[in-house]
């Protein structure tokens, strides 16, 4: 998703126009149209990984995923050029790692340090 949007910086402008000027009416229609398909994809992924997943509603996982995705995209476009290297270096890997594992160490990892 990032690769597809990265080459389209005007997407952010359209997103803000949609939110501010159109009060999200198009985004809401798109969401209603795509939500069943997205939920089916997520359900398939969750079903294949049931034993590894915490009990979180699929709709909430989808919301968190999109929130993190758009958060990454927004901070990349608005701040990356002027931010220190630590803000950029390995950013995608950190976002994925935090999404999958959170920010807290596992018990055995904390004991080892």
Residue 109 pLDDT level (bands cut at 50, 70, 90) = low
Instruction: Give yes or no for residue 113 having a pLDDT over 70.
Output: no
Question: What is the tally of structural domains in the chain?
Answer: 1
* Tokens at 91, concatenated: 């950013």
What pLDDT is attached to residue 73?
86
What is the mean predicted confidence (pLDDT) over 57-82?
A: 90
- The position carrying tokens 């939920």 is 39
- Which residues form the domain of 61? 2-112
Phi, psi of 35 (to 5 degrees): -55, -45
pLDDT in tens, 17-66: 999 999 999 999 999 999 999 999 999 989 998 888 888 999 999 999 89
Taking CA atoms, 36 is separated from 7, 12, 56, in Å, by 28, 25, 18
pLDDT in tens, 9-24: 788 788 889 999 999 9
Instruction: Give yes or no for residue 94 having a pLDDT over 90.
Output: yes
């Amino acid at each position: 998703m990032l690769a597809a949007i990265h080459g389209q910086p005007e997407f952010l402008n359209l997103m803000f126009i949609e939110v501010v000027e159109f009060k999200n009416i198009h985004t809401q229609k798109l969401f209603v149209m795509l939500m069943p398909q997205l939920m089916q994809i997520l359900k398939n992924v969750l079903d294949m990984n049931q034993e590894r997943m915490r009990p979180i509603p699929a709709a909430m996982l989808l919301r968190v995923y999109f929130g993190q995705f758009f958060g990454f995209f927004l901070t990349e476009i608005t701040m990356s050029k002027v931010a220190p290297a630590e803000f950029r270096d390995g950013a995608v890997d950190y976002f994925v790692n935090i999404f999958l594992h959170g920010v807290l160490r596992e018990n055995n990892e904390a004991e080892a340090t």
